[in-house]
Structure 1
């Protein structure tokens, strides 16, 4: 085999590897998360804290359906004594709306924790203090595996609770976007872990 042929094979394999990475990442992340996901509140094992990941909020009292479903699931977990605290992570408007929703549902102020710099899933996990260690994460099924992948990688003992309470209009768009997001998560954990650990310590 000539040097040129070896080079061609090497480049071809590299291209195939890059093209297959999104599918490998998606399968890996979903497989590792499966054993940590709960479908119903009743079956959830108690943890110290519920982390609710942000989504669109139109104003201080108007949550998107996706975010309202997440918050209602967190409220149900709290009322069923599955956790003692609810941590709400998103941008400032999202967290204000989430807080108002929780209070209207009878959750006391001292049970609510706020992270107004949770601009994406990774940030929401990196912004978490190292304690409590045992947490529940609440989001929709399409999003939950990636959130659990991050959380368990960064040292938490995390389980997830599916917050799907409606049929979502853009669900197929969300799933396609998640395929790319899972690829990024794979890079975050396996390709650039030193940078993310530095951010966490900082």
Structure 2
């Protein structure tokens, strides 16, 4: 019985330690690569806007979504990017994150010819990987909340890409509690993906960004 208790405690410590370690490494590696204002962020030709659903289960607008749209438009109108690749989930005919984001960005004055849609961005790994493999981009500005940008930039680093992040406004601690808890586990998963050399679910034909 004592052995089982010790084994259980050892596993718990190992899991907690892994979560803390992965979280710290991802955060530290992104230092000096994420920016809060359009005045300080360098120019990149391409911005990678990471998708999320527009609506919450209660029908309200998802604040993560709304803040990413605002951030992408601000970055474009400040002339800190020239083109957007909008990458998100389009796994069913009735759920299309990239198209929804594009529609809202059109309403904010970004021309359609300056936006490209990546319908196979099911995970952050897929979005970053496909930016190079499909869209041919080695350097970019990722646009999402800070915690998400940090993880995307960690992925970019181990793929040999040169990325920086523009942080969209976050949500309140209460609103973002579940997302922040999931993020801790996602940061462990990104180490596993790196170890097994995980590739995206879909590849596809190359798209030239003119």
1:164 aligns with 169
1:31 matches 2:35: no
Task: Return the TM-score normalized by structure 1.
Answer: 0.82
2:80 aligns with 82
Q: Which has the larger Rg?
A: 1
Aligned positions of 1:43-82 closer than 5 A: 43-58=40-55, 64-82=62-80
Q: Is the 8 A contact 1:126 1:199 kept in 2?
A: no
Deviations 1:21-55 (A, max 9, x none): 11111100000012201011111100110101011
SS of the residue 1:178 aligns to = helix
Structure 1 gaps of 5+ residues are 1-10
SS of the residue 2:30 aligns to = helix
1:136 aligns with 141
2:17 aligns with 20
Structure 2 gaps of 5+ residues are 1-6, 91-95, 206-210
Describe the shift of the 1:68–1:168 C-alpha distance in structure 2 as closer, same or farther (beyond 3 A): farther
2:3 aligns with none
Partners of 1:65 and 1:112 lie apart in 2 by 22
Aligned positions of 1:191-202 closer than 5 A: 191-193=195-197, 195-196=198-199
Shift of 1:19: 4.2
Q: Is the 8 A contact 1:48 1:132 kept in 2?
A: no
2:193 aligns with 188
SS of the residue 1:41 aligns to = coil
SS of the residue 1:128 aligns to = helix
1:101 aligns with 104
SS of the residue 1:102 aligns to = helix
Pairwise CA RMSD: 2.8
Task: Return the TM-score normalized by structure 2.
Answer: 0.79
Partners of 2:48 and 2:172 lie apart in 1 by 23
